[in-house]
């Protein structure tokens, strides 16, 4: 099975900050990686698929990059509504594993 390692697991930031979250796969997964946002008590929401394609309706301050084993999610200017947990997921092969998550909190 493909393992995904996210870092950091916890991040404290201020409104307006540029935030970067990384996701490393245990083997190459081409660009088959998605990013999700989850707020407390809510279902996850798809932000980015195929490593860098923004899902419809997602603000352009979110961006994704990477291929192979190393990927990043960047929020260019953190907004109050962005404080949440973020997860990566590999879509290259079953089982479709998730990373451990990154919780973004207000500094």
Residues that bind other proteins (CB under 8 A): 1, 32, 34, 36, 38, 43-46, 49-50, 55, 85, 87, 89, 91, 94-101
In whole angstroms, the minimum distance from the beta carbon of 77 to other proteins comes to 25
Beta bridge partners of 66: 71
Helix (H, G, I), strand (E, B) or coil at 81: helix
d(CA 88, CA 5): 9
Whichever of 13 and 91 has its CB closer to other proteins, that residue is 91
Q: Residue 16 CB, nearest distance to other proteins (Å)?
A: 27
1 within 8 A of 96, measured Cβ to Cβ: no
């Amino acid at each position: 099975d493909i393992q995904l390692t996210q870092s950091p697991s916890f991040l404290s930031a201020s409104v307006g900050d540029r935030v970067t979250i990384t996701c490393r796969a245990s083997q190459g997964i081409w660009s088959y990686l998605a990013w999700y946002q989850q707020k407390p008590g809510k279902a996850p929401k798809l932000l980015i698929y195929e490593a860098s394609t923004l899902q419809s309706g997602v603000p352009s301050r979110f961006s994704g990059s990477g291929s192979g084993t190393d990927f990043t999610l960047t929020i260019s200017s953190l907004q109050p509504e962005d404080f949440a947990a973020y997860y990566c997921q590999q879509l290259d092969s079953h089982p479709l594993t998730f990373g451990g998550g990154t919780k973004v909190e207000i500094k």
